[in-house]
Amino acid sequence: MKECNQCGKCCVNYSDGGLSVTADEVEYWEIFRPHISNFVSEGKIWIDPDTGKQLKRCPWLKQLPGEEKYICDIYFDRPDDCKHYPVTIEQMVKDECEMLEPRDLADPTQGQTDLDLLMIDCRPSVK
């Protein structure tokens, strides 16, 4: 498994209504990050505050000038769905994730183990 190369595919694939957000996340944003909570409406995220319509792309995803790399302007305050991605090898294949290597596809069980180890600090522990 490769390190993330900031291709932005995950953000583009899920930013148009494919993410969920918890009430706790929304409350945190309302109190501490109102510029983020402006893009929340009725529990849905990345809603245009002017039109009330779902944005096609996350408003916080920025392409680096002259590069095929992206950054997240709210990286430390991003939704848990973003923090936990990617979850499965199957999801990564579907999303054409560039972290995958041929060996991950040849042995998906080991690939999933490698992914789980890589993401151990990003996901909640299973009890």
Give the per-residue pLDDT at 29: 97
Give the per-residue pLDDT at 69: 93
Give the per-residue pLDDT at 126: 55
Indicate the pLDDT class of residue 14, thresholds 50, 70 and 90.
Answer: confident
Rounded average pLDDT over 76-101: 90
DSSP 54: B
Confidence check: pLDDT of 18 > 90: no
pTM here is 0.82
Helix residue ranges, H only, 1-127: 9-14, 23-32, 34-37, 80-84, 89-94, 102-106, 108-118
In the chain, % of residues over pLDDT 70 = 97
Confidence check: pLDDT of 87 > 90: no
